[in-house]
Amino acid sequence: MENVSLQEFRELAYRAYYAISFSPDKRRDTTLKEHEEELNADLGNIPECERERYVSNYKKYFSSWLNAMSNCMSSMITGPSGFNVRRAEKANIIEHNRYKEFIDWREKALKAIAKRVEQSKPEEQKSSEDWLRLKRSILSSARTIREINDGENRYSNKALFVSSIYNKVETFAKKGNIEIVQKSIDLIKELNKESSIITERHRFFNLPDVAKAISEKMSAKNEKESDEKHFIGGRVVHNFEKDRLQLIFDEKPSPDIIHQLKKNGFRWSPRFMAWQRQLTNNAIYATNCLLKLNNLICQ
C-alpha cells in the first residue's frame, strides 16, 4: 500500500504557525510528518474498502484544525503593540475545539471500523480467536497458581486466580458457547495432572451444564419468527434471532422522543436503522409506556 501524503497542506500548515512560532517552517514540517505517520499507521489496520473514506475525513478534520490555528496569534511573535487579547483568546478556544473534534473523530472512527471488521469475520474465525485469547489467559493464571502450589510465589492469592479463570469461562457459558467452555474444562483437567489448578469439586466444572441450558434456551428463542406491530409513525419489532426489541420510525423522531428512548436504554443501530435494546419484559413494558406517553398507540 502506497503511503498517503499530506503535503497538499504545506501552505496551510505554514500559515497555522506563522503568528505563533519563530520557526513556522520547521513546525509545519514536523506537524505534517507526524500526522502522515499517524494516518498511514491507521491505514495499515483498516480494510481497503474503508481507506478512501477514512483518508477523506482525516484530511477534513486535519485541515479544519490547521485553519483554526491560522487565526491564532502570540504577542511574542506579533509584538505587544495593539495586540487584541480577547480576539486571541477566542481564536485559541476555537483552535482547541477543532483539535478536540479531530481527536474524538479519529478515536470513534477507528473503533467503529474495528467493530465492523469484527462483525464481518466468519463465526468459525471469531470462535477460534476467542478460544486462543481465553487459552492464553487460562495458561497464564495456571502458571501463577502452580508457582503458588510449589511455594515459589508467596505473595499472590490462589483463590483470586481461580476466580479469574472461572469468571472468564463463565462469560462464554452465559453466551451458550458449549464448545469453548468444554475446551476450557478439558484444558484445566489436563493441567490438574501436573498440579492442582482447580479442584473438581469447584463449580467451575458445572459450567458446561450452564452453557448447554442457555444454548437450548437461545435456540428455542431463535426458532421463533420475528413479529411486529404498528404504532403511529412506525412499528415495534420483536427480533428473536438478534434478541432485540426494535423501534423503527417512518421519520426521525423528535429530540424529546430520542431523549426518552436513550433514557429507557434504547440505542440507535445504523445496521438495522432502528432504536433497540435487549428483548426482555422490561423492554416491552418501557416501549408500551413510551408509546402511550407520546400518544403513538394505534386505536
Alpha-carbon 90 to chain mean position: 34
Quote the mean pLDDT of the chain: 92
In this structure, are 245 and 210 located in the same domain?
no
- pLDDT reported for residue 222: 65
Q: What is the CA radius of gyration of the chain?
A: 28
- pLDDT reported for residue 77: 77
Domain end point (choices 120, 141, 171): 120
Domain end point (choices 120, 148, 179): 120
Q: Grade residue 223 by pLDDT with cuts at 50, 70 and 90.
A: low
Residue 27 Cα distances to 13, 66, 75, 97, 115, angstroms:
8, 12, 18, 20, 35
Mean pLDDT of 74-92: 83
Mean pLDDT of 31-38: 97
Q: Which domain holds residue 149?
A: 123-220
- 29 is written with which cell numbers? 514540517
In this structure, are 99 and 130 located in the same domain?
no
Mean pLDDT of 52-79: 92
- Nearest one of 247, 232, 228 to 297, comparing CA atoms: 232
- pLDDT reported for residue 56: 96
Percent of the chain with pLDDT over 90: 79
- pLDDT reported for residue 86: 87
Residue 124 Cα distances to 121, 127, 264, angstroms:
8, 5, 35
Lowest-confidence region among 74-88, 103-117, 171-185, 259-273: 74-88
CA distance 104 to 130: 29
Domain membership flag for residue 1: no
Residue 83 has pLDDT above 90, yes or no: no
Mean pLDDT of 273-291: 92
Domain membership flag for residue 298: no
CA distance 52 to 47: 10
Give the single-character DSSP code of 237.
Answer: E
**Strands across the sheet with 274-278, in order?**
227-231, 234-239, 244-249, 274-278, 267-269
Grid look-up 517552517 returns 25
- pLDDT reported for residue 85: 82
> Which sign, positive or negative, has the C-alpha torsion 207, 180, 165, 121?
negative
In this structure, are 23 and 93 located in the same domain?
yes
pTM: 0.59
Question: Facing residues of 249 across strands?
Answer: 234
Residue 288 has pLDDT above 70, yes or no: yes
Mean pLDDT of 7-14: 96
Domain total of the chain = 3
Domain end point (choices 70, 104, 120): 120
